[in-house]
Amino acid sequence: MVDVRGVAGTLACVAAGAFLINAVPHSVRGVTGERFPTPFADPPGVGLSSPTENIVWGAVNVAIGGALLRGFTGTAREYGALAVGATSTALFLARYFGDVATRPTPD
pLDDT at 103 over 80: no
Cα–Cα–Cα angle for 24, 27, 30, rounded to 5 degrees: 145
**Type of residue found at 16:** A
Residue range 93-98: mean pLDDT, rounded: 90
pLDDT at 1 over 50: no
Range of the domain at 60: 4-102
pLDDT for res 73: 85
Domain membership flag for residue 46: yes
Distances (CA, A) of 59 to 11, 63, 65, 80, 90: 21, 6, 10, 24, 17
Domain membership flag for residue 77: yes
Domain membership flag for residue 42: yes
Domain membership flag for residue 37: yes
Greatest C-alpha distance within the chain: 56
Domain membership flag for residue 107: no
Query: pLDDT-derived band of residue 2, with 50, 70 and 90 as boundaries?
Result: very low
Q: What is the pLDDT of residues 16-73, one digit of tens each?
A: 999 999 999 999 999 999 999 999 999 998 899 999 999 999 999 999 999 999 878 8
Q: How many domains does the chain have?
A: 1
What are the phi and psi torsion angles at 49 (to 5°)? -105, 160
Q: Where are the beta strands (DSSP E) in 27-106?
A: 36-37, 48-49
Domain membership flag for residue 72: yes
